[in-house]
Structure 1
């Protein structure tokens, strides 16, 4: 039809952890394990604690490798990470609010992107999304507005 333009659906976007983050966590695990062995000096507790901390860091790094995408948006809604590597689909009707929370304490400002889905609240930091959180919030708000 002439004169009528159908709006193009907004393309899907996704945000993921920085690609270098799993490597940094794995190197941290290696450093903790090595430090635990160096400081052992006949004490079995120190290497055991260092091993536990190193294992936790490796598990955290593994999560970043297995499920790097923390947030995705498309015209129908959002997909957020759930649990260790699970995903949860949130249709736009379930999303009550998208907020950027900024708090300053002792000269340090912390930002958190909050997605309120009624019975659940999903929080994301800068290291989760590898993007400025105000830009992510603006992209989510624009996608939500385009879907209505």
Structure 2
């Protein structure tokens, strides 16, 4: 990247989210032990649920950046903590999907790369999705 090119833009999970997930795991475990009543299944199930929540929190710590854009393309999270590079010519569309149902509006940022579809929510990127879509459109080189 030359000194004249724009910097890399990154969007990440909010810093407090893994902490909240870890606290939720501890609360699940405590509740499982508190309401066990001599039954070994309840704390076991609570432990499994807590372990799943801790693994989810660990992913947020290990790979907090979910999406990055630079003049050459996008980098998206793949799997637990891997990365996938998408050159701009592989990105077919960037779209904001809004759906309202029962008074609740859900937004999803969709990045269609032909052979793969990458979906991001507000909590994945810690930014309003319409602003992220606009920034990606701005970062994308125009065909010339």
Alignment equivalent of 1:63, drawn from 46, 59, 64: 59
**Structure-1 separation of matches of 2:35 and 2:115:** 47
When normalised by structure 2's length, the TM-score is: 0.95
Greater radius of gyration (CA): 1
RMSD: 1.1
Deviations 1:55-102 (A, max 9, x none): 000000000000000000000000000000000000000000000000
Displacement after TM superposition at 1:18 (Å) = 0.2
Tell me, which stretches of 5 or more residues in structure 2 are unaligned? none
Question: Which of 114, 117, 121 is 1:121 aligned to?
Answer: 117
For this pair of structures, how many residues does the alignment match? 141
Runs (4+) off by over 3 Å: 145-148
Task: Give 1:90's aligned residue.
Answer: 86
Deviation for aligned residue 1:145: 3.5
Q: TM-score, normalised by structure 1?
A: 0.92
1:112 maps to 2:122? no
With over 3 angstroms needed to count, the CA separation of the structure-2 counterparts of 1:42 and 1:140, relative to structure 1, is same
Structure 1: give runs of 5+ residues left out of the alignment: 1-7
* SS of residue paired to 1:43: coil
